[in-house]
Amino acid sequence: MMQEVQVSLQLFIENFSRTDTTFKGIAEHQYQFYIAAIDSVGNKELPKLAGTVRVTNGEEVICPGGNTTFVAPMGANTYQWQVNDGNGYTNLTEAGIYSGTTSANLTLTGAPTNLYGYRYRAVINGVPSATEYLIKFAMTWEGSVDTAWENPANWSCNSVPDANTDVIINGGKDYYPQVSSNAFARTLKTNNGASVRVKTGFNLTVVK
């Protein structure tokens, strides 16, 4: 079912004053907005692209060590991306996993799972955007090779979950996981027909 999300849309066009309005769109869809000037006698110029906005449900779920890009409305004079690690928003700089910190697109490359729950927003022409991105990490059991929880090839992200990774195990698989080590997951969801076995002497710690 598609989710309708209301976002605060801020468009900034060169030589025009800022316009704030509210736009409703479908989550995970991108929309483009155009502007056309009309003079006093009714002459209308060709529409020009004013900005692009991606409607998000506020969550960005990626693989551990994965890449993602957050998008702000285009057409502004200045951008500054910020991060909130639970202690309030601070400005990002071009360092480590972050690039595009002063552009419309912020890219995270090789994001570690300790960023789970961090929030991101853009400050556009000095005004903090009402749109926030919440980053999460998750993977699904594929079970296409064997029963080993510890085998990266059995997981959708080709890596083994850690304490900051949400784990989903669906039914209908050739193999189901057996844990032969002290393993971790942030959350564990087993759907109909799925199972997990922890061998004697080992633990599967589910943090949440």
- CA distances to 8, 33, 72, 91 from 54, rounded to whole Å, are 11, 11, 8, 22
Domain segments of the chain: what residues? 4-136, 141-206
User: Thinking of the domain 4-136, which architecture would CATH place it in?
Assistant: Sandwich (2.60)
- φ and ψ of 153, to 5 deg: -70, -15
The predicted-structure confidence for 75-113, as pLDDT tens digits, reads as follows 889 999 999 999 999 999 999 999 999 999 999 999 999
The predicted-structure confidence for 123-166, as pLDDT tens digits, reads as follows 999 999 988 999 999 999 999 999 999 999 999 999 999 999 99
Angle at 99 between CA 95 and CA 17, to 5 degrees: 125
